[in-house]
C-alpha cells in the first residue's frame, strides 16, 4: 500500500506532470511574471466554469475576503455575521477593517452556519453576512438570501473549501457555490480542491460596479497607472500560478468526483457504527465537494484525542478542523460573546476528526484507514 498522506499532492502532480512543466516553462520563457496573458486566460476560463460575469484573481483567499469587505464600503462599528466554527480568515479580516464580528453557532448536521442563529444576531448595525461553505458543503443559501433581502444585507460567500459545488434552488435551477451572494471568494492554497503550487485566490461577482471597485482595490486603487482613486492593496495572482491553475481547472470536476467517491466509500465502511457520525449531504449530490471528510466521534472528548494518537501510530495522518471555536481564540476574545450561544461549536470541537481526503486515495487505503478507526472504537 502506498504511504497515506492527508493530501497527496505529489501523486496528483505526477498525472499532469508534462502538461504542467511545459506550461510553467512557457511562462518563464515569456518573462511576463505579473499580469501575464496566463492570468487573463485563467480568469476567463474560471468565469466560464462558474458561469459568473466577473472573476478577479488575487494573492490568496484571506486577501479575497478582505478585498470583498473593502469593496462594500462598510464603516467602523458595522456588524458582520459569520460562523463561529471555521478557519480564522473571516473574523481576522472583519477585525482588521475595524468592523464588528458577530459570531453565530452552526447546524450540527452540516457544520454550516445556523439559520435561526443568523436571524437572532441581526441588529440595526448589521451590514453583511459571510457564510462559509465548510468542508465543501454549500450553506443554506436560499434561506440566507431571503434573510439578506429582508434586512438589506450584503452576502459574501467564503468559498475557499467548496469550489465546484452546486447549489440547487427550490425551482430546480442550479448555481455554483460562490456565485449566489453579492460577492464570492476562494483560495487556491495547494491543498484546496483547486490548488496552485503556491498561494492564490479569487473574488467573484455578477455586479459590474462591485467588480470595478474590486479591480481597483487589488491594484493599489489604480485604474490609470500612478493615479490612485481608492485606498487599495497589492494582491495579485502571479502568472506561473495562473498557468498551473488553468490546467488544473480542466480536472476540477474529476477531482471533486474522486473526493465524493472516497467519501461515499468511507461512509459505507462506517455505516451504522454507534460511535461515529458520518458527514451528510444537506442538498443534492453535487452540493458537497468534500474538501474535508470529517467524522464526529461520540463517547466524550478524550476518545477523539486518543484516536488521533492511535491513527498516528498506525501511520495514518489526520486533522482536527477546528480544535478551538473562534469565540474562544485568544486573539478574538470579546465580552460580547455569550457561551450559551455557542452550544454546538463548543461540542463539535471536541468530537471532530478529519480523515485523509484527496483525489488519489485508493480503496486499500480507505479500507485500512476505516478498519483502524473501527478497531480503536471496538
Ligand atoms: C483556506 C481558507 C481560507 C484562506 O485562504 P488562504 O488562501 O490560505 O488565505 C479562508 N477561509 C477558509 C474557510 C479556508 O479554508
Number of domains in the chain: 2
Query: For ligand 1, is residue 235 a contact (CB within 6 Å)?
Result: no
CA distance 128 to 155: 6
Which atom of ligand 1 lies nearest, measured to the CA of 291?
15
Would strands 174-176 and 276-277 be described as parallel, antiparallel, or unpaired?
unpaired
Q: What is the CATH number of the domain that holds 300?
A: 3.90.1150.10
Task: Compute the distance from residue 8 Cα to the ligand 1 centre, in Å.
Answer: 19
pLDDT digits (tens, 9 = 90+) for 173-231: 999 999 999 999 999 999 999 999 999 999 999 999 999 999 999 999 999 999 999 99
Beta-carbon count within 10 A of 12 CB: 19
Same domain, 82 and 209: yes
User: Which residue's CA is minimally distant from atom 4 of ligand 1?
Assistant: 61
Q: Per the domain annotation, does 131 fall within a domain?
A: yes
Angle at which helices 17-30 and 37-50 cross, to 10°: 130
What pLDDT score does 301 carry? 62
Of the three residues 191, 221, 249, the one that is the final residue of a domain is 249
Q: Are 91 and 332 in contact (CB under 8 A)?
A: yes
What is the CATH number for 96? 3.40.640.10
* pLDDT of the residue at 115: 98
Which tens digit of pLDDT belongs to each residue from 73-115?
999 999 999 999 999 999 999 999 999 999 999 999 999 999 9
Peptide bond between residue 357 and the one before it cis (omega within 30 degrees of 0) = no
Q: Give 30 Cα–ligand 1 centroid separation in angstroms.
A: 30
Contact 53, 211 (CB under 8 A): yes
Q: 144 and 13, same structural domain?
A: yes
Contact 129, 153 (CB under 8 A): yes
Establish if 3 belongs to a structural domain: no
In three-state form (DSSP H/G/I as H, E/B as E, the rest C), the secondary structure along 18-72 is HHHHHHHHHHHHHCCCECCHHHHHHHHHHHHHHCCCEEEEECCHHHHHHHHHHHC
- Indicate whether residue 60 lines ligand 1 (CB < 6 A): yes
Q: For residue 13, give its domain range.
A: 9-249
Q: Which of 249, 283, 309 is the last residue of a domain?
A: 249
pLDDT number for residue 299: 79
- Verify that 231 and 291 share a domain, yes or no: no
**Verdict on whether the full-model pTM lies above 0.95:** yes
In a shared domain, residues 193 and 275: no
pLDDT value for 378? 87
| Residue that is last in its domain, among 179, 214, 249 | 249
- Between CA 69 and CA 127 the distance in angstroms is 10
Query: Which residue's alpha carbon is at the smallest distance from atom 14 of ligand 1?
Result: 160
Site to substitute for ligand 1 among 7, 136, 161, 294, most atoms within 8 A of C-beta: 161
Q: Are 164 and 252 in contact (CB under 8 A)?
A: yes
Verify that 211 and 339 share a domain, yes or no: no
Q: Is residue 162 within 6 Å of ligand 1 at its C-beta?
A: no
> Which protein residue has the closest C-alpha to ligand 1 atom 2?
160
Residues 243, 348 within the same domain: no
How many whole angstroms from 61 Cα to the centroid of ligand 1? 5
Say if 358 falls within a structural domain: yes
- Give yes or no: residues 328 and 340 share one domain: yes
Q: DSSP string covering 198-240, please? A: S--EEEEES-HHHHHHHHHHTBTTEEETTEE-S---B---BHH
The number of C-alpha atoms within 13 Å of 33 and in the hemisphere containing its C-beta is 2
- CA angle 347/281/1 to nearest 5° reads 85
Q: What is the pLDDT of residue 244?
A: 98
Cα 201 to middle of ligand 1, angstroms: 9
Q: What is the pLDDT of residues 1-45, one digit of tens each?
A: 999 999 999 999 999 999 999 999 999 999 999 999 999 999 999
Cα(211)–Cα(78) distance, rounded to whole angstroms? 22
Predicted pLDDT at 242: 98
What's the mean per-residue pLDDT of the chain?
Answer: 97
Ligand 1 contact, 322 CB (< 6 A) = no
- Residue 303 and residue 187 share a domain: no
Please compute the mean of the pLDDT values over residues 125-148 and round it to a whole number: 98
Judge if the beta carbon of residue 12 lies within 6 A of ligand 1. no
- pLDDT score of 284: 83
Beta carbons of 355 and 293 less than 8 angstroms apart: yes
Q: Is residue 211 part of a domain?
A: yes
Does any ligand 1 atom lie closer than 6 A to the CB of residue 62? Answer: yes
192 and 157 belong to one structural domain: yes
| Average pLDDT rounded to a whole number, residues 120-131 | 98
Residue 280 belongs to a domain: yes
Residue 65 to residues 155, 178, 334, 355, Cα–Cα distance (Å): 11, 12, 22, 27
Q: For a substitution probing ligand 1, which of 57, 58, 62, 294 has the most ligand atoms within 8 Å of its CB?
A: 62
What is the number of the ligand 1 atom nearest to the C-alpha of 192? 1
d(CA 329, CA 337): 12
Q: Which atom of ligand 1 is nearest to the CA of 161?
A: 15
Minimum CA distance residue for ligand 1 atom 3: 61
Q: What is the pLDDT of residues 270-311, one digit of tens each?
A: 998 999 999 999 888 789 999 999 999 997 768 999 999 999
Residues 180 and 314 placed together within one structural domain of the fold: no
**How many CB atoms lie under 10 A from the CB of residue 225?**
8
Give yes or no for residue 204 CB within 6 A of ligand 1: no
**Euclidean distance between CA atoms 245 and 195, whole angstroms:** 7
For residue 2, is it within any domain? Answer: no
Residue 317 forms part of a structural domain: yes
Q: How many Å lie between the centroid of ligand 1 and the Cα of residue 163?
A: 12
C-alpha cell at 330: 485568544
Cα-based distances in Å from 304 to 310, 356, 373: 10, 16, 10
Residue 1 domain flag: no
Residue 285's pLDDT is what? 78
138 and 277: one domain? no
Looking at residue 148, its pLDDT comes to: 98
Q: Do 265 and 239 share a structural domain?
A: no
Provide the Cα torsion 112, 114, 115, 117; round to 10°.
-150
Which three three-digit cell numbers place residue 340? 450559551
d(CA 124, CA 78): 9
Amino acid at each position: 500500500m502506498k504511504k497515506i498522506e492527508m493530501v497527496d499532492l505529489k501523486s496528483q502532480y505526477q498525472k499532469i506532470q508534462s502538461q504542467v512543466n511545459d506550461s510553467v516553462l512557457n511562462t518563464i520563457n515569456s518573462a511576463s511574471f505579473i499580469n501575464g496573458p496566463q492570468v487573463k486566460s485563467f480568469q476567463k476560463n474560471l468565469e466560464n466554469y462558474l458561469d459568473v460575469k466577473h472573476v478577479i484573481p488575487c494573492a490568496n483567499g484571506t486577501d479575497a475576503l478582505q478585498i470583498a469587505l473593502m469593496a462594500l464600503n462598510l464603516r467602523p462599528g458595522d456588524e458582520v455575521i459569520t460562523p463561529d466554527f471555521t478557519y480564522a480568515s473571516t473574523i481576522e479580516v472583519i477585525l482588521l477593517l475595524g468592523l464588528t464580528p458577530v459570531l453565530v453557532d452552526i447546524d450540527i448536521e452540516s457544520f454550516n452556519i445556523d439559520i435561526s442563529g443568523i436571524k437572532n444576531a441581526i441588529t440595526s448595525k448589521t451590514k453583511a453576512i459571510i457564510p462559509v461553505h465548510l468542508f465543501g458543503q454549500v450553506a443554506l443559501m436560499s434561506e440566507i438570501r431571503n434573510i439578506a433581502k429582508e434586512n438589506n444585507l450584503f452576502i459574501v460567500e467564503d468559498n475557499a473549501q467548496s469550489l465546484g459545488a452546486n447549489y440547487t434552488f427550490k425551482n430546480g435551477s442550479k448555481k455554483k457555490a460562490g456565485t449566489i451572494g453579492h460577492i464570492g471568494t476562494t483560495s487556491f492554497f495547494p491543498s484546496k480542491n483547486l490548488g496552485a503550487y503556491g498561494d492564490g485566490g479569487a473574488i467573484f461577482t455578477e455586479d459590474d460596479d462591485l467588480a470595478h471597485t474590486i479591480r481597483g482595490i487589488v491594484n493599489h486603487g489604480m485604474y490609470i497607472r500612478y493615479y490612485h482613486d481608492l485606498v487599495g492593496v497589492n494582491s495579485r495572482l502571479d502568472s506561473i500560478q495562473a498557468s498551473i491553475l488553468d490546467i488544473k481547472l480542466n480536472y476540477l470536476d474529476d477531482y471533486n468526483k474522486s473526493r465524493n467517491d472516497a467519501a461515499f466509500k468511507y461512509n459505507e465502511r462506517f455505516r451504522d457504527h454507534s460511535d461515529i457520525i458520518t458527514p451528510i449531504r444537506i442538498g443534492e449530490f453535487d452540493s458537497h465537494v468534500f474538501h474535508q471528510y470529517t467524522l464526529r466521534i461520540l463517547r466524550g472528548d478524550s476518545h477523539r484525542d486518543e484516536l488521533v494518537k492511535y491513527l498516528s501510530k498506525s501511520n495514518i495522518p489526520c486533522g482536527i478542523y477546528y480544535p478551538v471555536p473562534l469565540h474562544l481564540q485568544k486573539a478574538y476574545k470579546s465580552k460580547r460573546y455569550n457561551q450559551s450561544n455557542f452550544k454546538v461549536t463548543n461540542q463539535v470541537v471536541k468530537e471532530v476528526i478529519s480523515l485523509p481526503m484527496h483525489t488519489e486515495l485508493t480503496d486499500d487505503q480507505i479500507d485500512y484507514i476505516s478498519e483502524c478507526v473501527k478497531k480503536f472504537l471496538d
